[in-house]
């Protein structure tokens, strides 16, 4: 791999009920629970990671499920739509499945020549299934009800809604190495050729839209992928050189991270591939037990008692 941004690493959102969130993503959408841990800053709250079999970067959707949190509001300064790639023949299956499970479908159509089906999760988080122009060759996680022929392949894209796209666009092009690939009305598509999937960021220009409120059913941050810590720190210098504030390197157990807020207000993260999710569980047992950061292990009994039951 090159010393480049390799598309989307993961996306983190906020949910309201842990059990409902877990059931929707594992049972209805058919994703694998890759890791069950806690919020580093709030160990009384879960941190769920859903993805493919190995938790491959580009497939990982994570949640902080805060019980009883109020609903957020999508708006400017926020990632407002998560796109998943699906096979060309799958949308009929998903339409029927969403009807069966009373999932709210919010739209269908074609965007940049690609057919899509938009819907919301139980907290109102906007998601979209998209049939990419070039079939996505990634091997998905499958369940008895969601088989390989229809399963999601991982991320297709993320949409950011912004009052002014210029500053964000400069981050994508000048720091991350993306390029403008097309425009449809007020939607500007940026892509990278560093990877064949999880490579699209759409900027939605909405100068008159209200600002976002980050709470239940909204995206907390978007993480972009790099190969290792050496490349991570190279990007830290690039961000600083462009006059933006960025955190020191943070160890998230399964990857190393940097965080900064881009000029449009969206919280960006840059995250490494290493060490991965098998660092504390064998691959065939990912997500089956509660994993705690070392600083909380001594309080395991209290934490386990405080966390909501998932079954």
What pLDDT digit, counting tens, does each position of 267-299 carry? 999 999 999 999 999 999 999 999 999 999 999
Per-residue pLDDT tens digits for 81-98: 999 999 999 999 999 999
- Report yes or no on whether pTM surpasses 0.95: yes
- pLDDT of 1 > 70? The answer is no
Quick check: 311 pLDDT over 90? no
Place of tokens 């909405």: 206
Query: What tokens were used for 308?
Result: 């909501």
20 phi and psi angles, rounded to 5 deg: -65, -40
Domain boundaries, the chain: 8-306
Rg (C-alpha) for the chain, rounded Å, is 18
Residue 187 C-beta-side C-alpha neighbours within 13 Å: 12
Task: Identify which of 137, 140, 118, 121 has the alpha carbon closest to the alpha carbon of residue 129.
Answer: 118
What token pair was written down for 207?
Answer: 């100068």
pLDDT tens, residue by residue, 107-133: 999 999 999 999 999 999 999 999 999
Q: Which pLDDT value is given to residue 2?
A: 75
CATH code assigned to 8-306: 3.10.180.10
Instruction: Provide the 10 A C-beta neighbour count for residue 27.
Output: 13
Q: Are 74 and 80 in contact (CB under 8 A)?
A: yes
């Amino acid at each position: 791999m090159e010393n480049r941004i390799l598309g989307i690493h993961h996306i983190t959102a906020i949910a309201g009920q842990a059990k409902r969130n877990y059931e929707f993503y594992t049972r209805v959408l058919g994703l694998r629970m890759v890791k069950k841990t806690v919020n580093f800053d709030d160990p009384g709250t879960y941190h769920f990671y859903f993805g493919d079999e190995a938790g491959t970067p580009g497939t990982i959707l994570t949640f902080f499920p805060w019980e009883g949190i109020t609903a957020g509001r999508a708006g400017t300064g926020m990632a407002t739509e998560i796109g998943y790639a699906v096979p060309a023949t799958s949308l009929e299956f998903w339409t029927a499945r969403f009807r069966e499970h009373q999932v709210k479908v919010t739209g269908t159509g074609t965007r940049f020549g690609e057919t899509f089906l938009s819907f919301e999760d139980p907290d109102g988080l906007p998601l979209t299934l998209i049939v990419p122009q070039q079939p996505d060759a990634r091997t998905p996680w499958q369940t008895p009800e969601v088989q390989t022929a229809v399963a999601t392949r991982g991320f297709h894209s993320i949409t950011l809604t912004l009052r002014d796209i210029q500053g964000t666009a400069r981050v994508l092009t000048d720091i991350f190495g993306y390029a403008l690939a097309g425009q449809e009305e007020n939607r500007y598509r940026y892509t990278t050729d560093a990877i064949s999937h999880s490579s699209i960021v759409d900027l939605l220009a909405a100068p008159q839209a209200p600002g976002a409120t980050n709470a239940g059913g909204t995206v907390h941050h978007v993480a972009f992928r790099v190969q290792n810590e050496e490349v991570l720190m190279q990007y830290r210098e690039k961000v600083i050189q462009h006059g933006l504030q960025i955190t020191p390197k943070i160890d998230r157990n399964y990857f190393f991270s940097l965080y900064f807020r881009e000029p449009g207000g969206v919280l960006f993260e840059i995250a490494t591939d290493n060490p991965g999710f098998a660092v504390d569980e064998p691959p065939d047992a990912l997500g089956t037990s509660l994993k705690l950061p070392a600083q909380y292990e001594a309080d395991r009994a209290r934490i386990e008692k405080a966390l909501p039951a998932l079954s």
